[in-house]
Amino acid sequence: MTVKAVAGVFLIVLPLAFNGFFLLLGRRFDYPDVLRRPTEDILNRFQAAGVGLKLVWYGFMLTAVLFAPLAVLLGQVFAGDDIAVMPTAIIVGVLAAVVQFLGLARWPFLVPALARTYTDPASTPATREATKAVFDSFHRYLGVGIGECLGYLLTGTWSVLIGIAMLNSSTFEAWLGWPGIIIGLFLVVGSLEFVGRFEEQGWKLAGTIVPIAYIVWSVWLIVSGVVLLLE
DSSP 183-218: HHHHHHHHTTTTSGGGTTT--HHHHHHHHHHHHHHH
pTM over 0.85: yes
**Of 163, 209, 166, the residue nearest 182 (C-alpha):** 163
pLDDT at 207: 84
pLDDT at 92: 97
**Of 201, 229, 188, 193, the residue nearest 96 (C-alpha):** 188
pLDDT at 186: 96
pLDDT at 64: 94
Where would I find the beta strands (DSSP E) of 53-192? none
| Residuewise pLDDT in 10s, the chain (231 residues) | 799 999 999 999 999 999 999 999 999 999 988 888 999 999 999 999 999 999 999 999 999 999 999 999 999 999 888 888 999 999 999 999 999 999 999 999 999 999 999 999 999 999 999 999 999 999 999 999 999 999 999 999 999 999 999 999 888 888 999 999 999 999 999 999 888 887 877 788 888 899 999 999 999 999 999 999 987
**Orientation of helix 204-229 relative to helix 174-190, angle to 10°:** 150
**Of 144, 136, 137, the residue nearest 192 (C-alpha):** 144
pLDDT at 197: 84
